[in-house]
Amino acid sequence: MDSVDVVVIGGGPAGLLAAGKAAADGASVILLEKMEKPARKLRITGKGRCNITNTKPYDEFINDIFPEPRFLRDAFNSFFSDDIIRLLNQQGVATVEERGMRVFPTSGRAWDVAEALVKWARANGVKIYNHAHVTDITSTQGVVTGVKYTDKDSNSKGVECKSIILATGGKSYAATGSTGDGYKLASSLGHTITPLLPALVGVETRPAISLKDNLLLRNVNLSLFIEGKKVDEEFGELEVTSYGFNGPIMLRLSRRIVFALSKGSRVDLELDLKPALSHEKLDARILREVDENPRIAVANLANRLLPRDLASVMIDEIGLAAQKNLGRLTTGERKSIRLWLKEQRFEVLAQRSWPEAIVTAGGVSLKEVNPKTMESKLVRGLFFAGELLDLDGSTGGYNLQIAYSTGWLAGKSAAPPIQ
């Protein structure tokens, strides 16, 4: 049986940073990853481009983290966005900052980020075992003693160790290996798991705008109503899908929606396709078209206001005669167009499910983890890192930074011999 100082369970960004740091600080480290290679999820982040982190200062950064961002103060103090950028640059991954202070690899390949972290961990002395599916954590009198895992040929194996860093990720996109095993392992040792919900996810609405293909809309505004009260709004890009909505602004609103739905609250979205124009200005714009082009068809007006696919949906839904001359457009029809463009309401029926969620909200309760070390308050020698914890961030590089920072701090804390 292998015997080491530290076993890291899970080879995502949290596990790789934890293992690499513990090894750099002198610990003997084995990382057990159940898939055929580490960091499968990291390789598909940011639509394959990987939004590595965000360079907002700490005080702003934490506004995009839930539910208790201040839990991360020590983790961010020990390793923040400038540290991961430096580490990757040293490993040969050049980075570039884009709109919203989001950082990407210059190559545009998430794969390069994953390979660099694996290479760095190995160079520090970490032994990585792939196809190693951890099934148990063993402990005696409240102190960890080792782990049990099965290898590629389903043989049962074990490793003895002084410390264990659990970094198995959330339970979304399970095909990447993040199947939620860590929640079971942690609760078998007495840890509380707060309710798990898919966050950063699209939603199903009634009605849904029926289009042949998904359509990306730019510069639109989406307002969120919970129990009839407006609670939030986002401006930017929205993907209209056959079931409802997805894409950047939808994802940013989704966390609140998912929690509201889980409590049985009524949730509605209001879409403003022309947020730059007030109702009056939009009406004036339509009237100008009518005055200047009384003989063109209503369909032409719709095509001037909207992408073609959406224009025909508007004509159908309002019940306009597409070929009618603009000059014959009634005041009532003009009002219907204006309301359709600025105030379409959609009831949210459900969020899309786990395989499509970018991140898991909920996880190992922060009350039972020491924020200065990431060590369990219940079991000595057990540390946590990454999405497994009850922490999640918005889109923009926050979730990966949570993984690196908690991983780094856990690795640093686990490395010295536990007294």
The C-alpha atoms of residue 395 and residue 357 are separated, in whole angstroms, by 12
8: tokens are 């890291």
Assess 10 for contact with ligand FAD (CB under 6 A): yes
193: tokens are 């798991």
Q: How far is the CB of 208 from ligand FAD (least distance, A)?
A: 22
> What number of chain residues touch ligand FAD (CB under 6 A)?
41
Q: Is 184 helix (H, G, I), strand (E, B) or coil?
A: helix
Assess 181 for contact with ligand FAD (CB under 6 A): yes
The C-alpha atoms of residue 18 and residue 5 are separated, in whole angstroms, by 13
Assess 273 for contact with ligand FAD (CB under 6 A): no
Nearer to ligand FAD, 15 or 146 (CB): 15
Q: How far is the CB of 33 from ligand FAD (least distance, A)?
A: 5
Nearer to ligand FAD, 12 or 381 (CB): 12
β-strand 2-9 against 156-166: which pairing, if any? Answer: parallel
- Interhelix angle 13-24/398-414, nearest 10 degrees: 30
Question: Which among 269, 266, 264 is positioned nearest to 253, based on CA atoms?
Answer: 269
For the chain, how are helix, strand and coil distributed in percent, rounded to 5?
40, 30, 35
Nearer to ligand FAD, 180 or 381 (CB): 180
Assess 113 for contact with ligand FAD (CB under 6 A): no
Assess 14 for contact with ligand FAD (CB under 6 A): yes
Nearer to ligand FAD, 115 or 387 (CB): 387
Assess 75 for contact with ligand FAD (CB under 6 A): no
Assess 35 for contact with ligand FAD (CB under 6 A): yes
The C-alpha atoms of residue 113 and residue 107 are separated, in whole angstroms, by 10
Q: How far is the CB of 411 from ligand FAD (least distance, A)?
A: 12
Assess 34 for contact with ligand FAD (CB under 6 A): yes
308: tokens are 């073609």
CB 338 within 8 A of CB 289: no
The C-alpha atoms of residue 172 and residue 197 are separated, in whole angstroms, by 9
43-62 binders of ligand FAD (CB under 6 A)? 44-46, 50-51
Nearer to ligand FAD, 105 or 381 (CB): 105
Using the contact rule CB under 6 A, the part of the chain among 155-163, 177-185, 216-224, 286-294 near ligand FAD is: 177-185
Among 177, 247, 362, 411, binds ligand FAD (CB under 6 A): 177
The C-alpha atoms of residue 338 and residue 342 are separated, in whole angstroms, by 6
The C-alpha atoms of residue 76 and residue 71 are separated, in whole angstroms, by 10
Assess 310 for contact with ligand FAD (CB under 6 A): no
3-state secondary structure 118-181: HHHHHHCCCEEECCCEEEEEEEECCEEEEEEEECCCCCEEEEEEEEEEECCCCCCCHHHCCCCH
Burial label, 145 (beta-carbon count in 10 A; 0-12, 13-18, 19+): middle
Among 7, 11, 162, 269, binds ligand FAD (CB under 6 A): 11
Q: How far is the CB of 13 from ligand FAD (least distance, A)?
A: 5
Nearer to ligand FAD, 13 or 146 (CB): 13
**Helix H or strand E encompassing 333:** helix 331-342
Assess 166 for contact with ligand FAD (CB under 6 A): no
The C-alpha atoms of residue 149 and residue 38 are separated, in whole angstroms, by 16
Binding characters for ligand FAD, 132-161, by CB under 6 A (x = yes): -xx---------------------------
Binding characters for ligand FAD, 370-409, by CB under 6 A (x = yes): ----------------xxx--------xxxx--x------
Assess 33 for contact with ligand FAD (CB under 6 A): yes
CB 95 within 8 A of CB 104: yes
Q: Which amino acid is at 170?
A: G
Assess 202 for contact with ligand FAD (CB under 6 A): no
Using the contact rule CB under 6 A, the part of the chain among 152-160, 169-177, 228-236, 244-252 near ligand FAD is: 169-177
The site for ligand FAD (CB under 6 A) is made up of: 9-15, 32-35, 38, 40-42, 44-46, 50-51, 133-134, 167-169, 172-173, 177-179, 181, 358-359, 386-388, 397-400, 403
